[in-house]
Amino acid sequence: MTSIIATQADITRFPSDVIVNAANTSLLGGGGVDGAIHRAAGPRLLEATRLLGGARTGEAKMTDAFGIASAERIIHTVGPVYTSQSPAESAELLADCYRNSLALATDFRSIAFPAISTGVYGYPLAEAAAVAVGTIKQWLAEHPDTSLATVTLVAHSAADLRVLEAAL
């Protein structure tokens, strides 16, 4: 059975087979989690993401973790900008980020997610956490053969951790 947990940590140092990057559509780095992951992984990550040709909202693509010693792979997923579509469409696109990331990581033992779209993309954390937890639980129920033993929701702050724990 797969465990779903929440913790407060720096995702670039969090020990997990796979970490998820809340990327922009170019996949070439940016602010927030995306910038931190690109800085921690080093210039080879930029070279690798250039070859991926970007991604659409809800898509997920995988690279090596390069300079991030605590992970083997990075999954880059593009969350929705909260105000760019209806709340229902935003929720579905956010759910796609989690589903597509989990599908790429199914043969690994662990995956760690940041709070996708909750930074500059403006998604309210409590709503995003509800989508994340519901989607992860549904995906795990539909994929009992996954190798994933642990899915971790990584909070940036203690306040964010309380919101994620409430959603769990």
Q: Which are the catalytic amino acids?
A: 34
Which residue shows structure tokens 């989508």? Answer: 131
- For residues 36 and 156, give the distance between their C-alpha atoms in angstroms, rounded to a whole number: 12
Judge contact between 10 and 32, C-beta under 8 A: no
